[in-house]
Chains A and B, each alone.
Chain A
Amino acid sequence: AQSVSQHNHHVILSEAASLELGCNYSYGGTVNLFWYVQYPGQHLQLLLKYFSGDPLVKGIKGFEAEFIKSKFSFNLRKPSVQWSDTAEYFCALHAISSGSARQLTFGSGTQLTVLP
């Protein structure tokens, strides 16, 4: 079965610092990858997604992620964080050839706190 690992449970940064959140997955087949964000009191929102093609994908609010197939990774980056980026970030995987329904497998999340 597939799995997603987010090793950083809580990251604390000052405004304008650069961000990189790790995401590694376990699955040998074709995958679609996603990053979702959950702001305090709000629903999960899609930040960006990778289906195929250019492994560097850009999302909303200046976020980007790079799919490195050889490392089974899909790390999230932002050059300069803002206080408003404080939220919980979830990496998720859809295993294309698993034979199961099209549900997502989520990591356990990374809480990002940006200090003003």
Chain B
Amino acid sequence: DTGVSQDPRHKITKRGQNVTFRCDPISEHNRLYWYRQTLGQGPEFLTYFQNEAQLEKSRLLSDRFSAERPKGSFSTLEIQRTEQGDSAMYLCASAPPSPLHFGNGTRLTVT
């Protein structure tokens, strides 16, 4: 399967801990996106990379969130000092530039 891969699939953490998620996009796609999805809602945009450059960040992305794509390939999303409100599905998508191809997501539960 050469789709978008996300790791881990599930993460349970205690409030205040840091977590990091990884996304491996489709290899020839230069655009990479992070979205967050909560129950009963559609995905909400967090941030966007074109190659290694982070070109846009949503206001949803507080200073506790940081994303990187160091070599223009895989990307990581880190959440520091997690809060219960961070519990959600975190989706990664890549694009050639269009349309977006989504991964299965990482479900984060903050206890």
Query: Real complex partners, A and B?
Result: yes
Give me the interface of A with B, judged by CB distance under 8 Å.
Answer: 4, 6, 9, 32, 34, 36, 42-46, 49, 90, 92, 94, 100-109
- Convert B1-41 into 0s and 1s, putting 1 for each residue whose CB lies closer than 8 angstroms to a CB of A: 00110000000000000000000000000010100000011
Which interface class (under 10, 10 to 19, 20 to 34, 35 or more) fits B? 20 to 34
Given contacts A43-B104, A100-B56, A101-B55, contact A94 B98 (CB under 8 A): yes
Q: Are A109 and B98 in contact (CB under 8 A)?
A: no
**Neighbouring A residues of B101 by C-beta, 8 Å:** 46
**Neighbouring A residues of B44 by C-beta, 8 Å:** 106
Q: Are B98 and A102 in contact (CB under 8 A)?
A: yes
**Neighbouring B residues of A90 by C-beta, 8 Å:** 42-43
Given contacts A44-B102, A101-B55, contact A106 B3 (CB under 8 A): no
Query: Which among A32, A103, A105, A109 is the interface contact of B56 at CB below 8 angstroms?
Result: A103
Give how many A-B residue pairs fall within 8 Å (CB-CB).
55
Give me the interface of B with A, judged by CB distance under 8 Å.
Answer: 3-4, 31, 33, 40-45, 48, 55-56, 91, 93, 95, 97-105
Once bound together, how far apart are the Cα atoms of A75 and B4, in whole Å?
28
Given contacts A43-B105, A107-B42, A108-B41, contact A101 B48 (CB under 8 A): yes
| Nearest CB on A from B32, distance (A) | 11
Once bound together, how far apart are the Cα atoms of A100 and B47, in whole Å?
11
